[in-house]
Amino acid sequence: MLRRMSVRLSMLASGSQGNCALVASSQTRILVDAGISCREIFKRLRSLSEDPSAISAILITHEHSDHVYGLATLAKKLRVPVFLTAATHAAWSRALRNENGERPQLEKLEKFESGHRFEIGDIEVKPFTIPHDAVDPVGFTFRAEGVKISLATDLGYLPVNVRDHLRGSDVLIMESNHDLEMLRGGPYPWVVKQRVASNVGHLSNAKLADFFDGDYDNSAAFVVLAHLSEQNNHPEIARREAERALARRGGLFNNRVLVATQSEAMPPIRL
């Protein structure tokens, strides 16, 4: 039987200025993070012929502003359930208190716990804990129609439990944040450089290459490099490093490497 290729992924925006991705099946459409404005999310969805009013839910990885900047407006406009952990929700609403101490309300709040799978329509979602300096940060795996999509960005390194979750993915969205030399020689203040490079900061091109070189199972038809630093990385450097590591394992023929950008939506991957 011919598969219908109705599962799709598009990175609407990726990088330290804002993150948002669309994971969709034939019946369900999930936005992962809302780190750019609602207006820009709608614009980018329409540029892919996706109807914003058809979105089923919003999922949040963690409370950093490059992941929640547009959330309050987006949730109000779409009136769909917003899924986040209790700690992430508390941190988000605390940060958005007004001068009277009033916190923003989400009309349809759904709390999840890391490590516990749940379903949104016909998409199974499994959140897993990642090492990052937020209150309760998670990555996700998505399963629908026999396809597995995994997303792991905003993490300082790749612990064993994360590697386990990534196994068997058809699409792997991985952080490839910085080139270590560019970070060292770049414009950031020393403390920020320390934070980015730490085990609760962001994944370097080299750490990702180590994963591809090591216990990566070569399962993904598509590898998406995400959350690239505009200051401390270059898309071609990130791509070259990932492709070299995949080639050493003989896996470059299986894995098509794509680079997600800050400025525009990536054409959808269809599976």
> Binding residues for Zn ion, per CB under 5 A?
64, 66, 154
Residue 164 beta carbon to Zn ion: minimum distance, rounded to whole angstroms:
22
* Nearer Cβ to Zn ion (154/170): 154
Instruction: DSSP for 2-71, please give it.
Output: ------EEEEEE-STT--EEEEE-SS-EEEE---S-HHHHHHHHHHTT--GGG--EEE-S--SHHHHTTH
* Nearer Cβ to Zn ion (82/130): 130
DSSP state of 141: E
* Nearer Cβ to Zn ion (64/178): 64
Residue 10 beta carbon to Zn ion: minimum distance, rounded to whole angstroms:
18
First to last CA, the chain: 14
Residue nearest to Zn ion (CB): 64
Q: Any idea which residue has 């598509």 for tokens?
A: 222
Residue 85 beta carbon to Zn ion: minimum distance, rounded to whole angstroms:
14
Per DSSP bridges, beta strands 57-59 and 8-13 are unpaired
- Tokens matching residue 150: 């995994």
* Nearer Cβ to Zn ion (23/196): 196
Residue 179 beta carbon to Zn ion: minimum distance, rounded to whole angstroms:
17
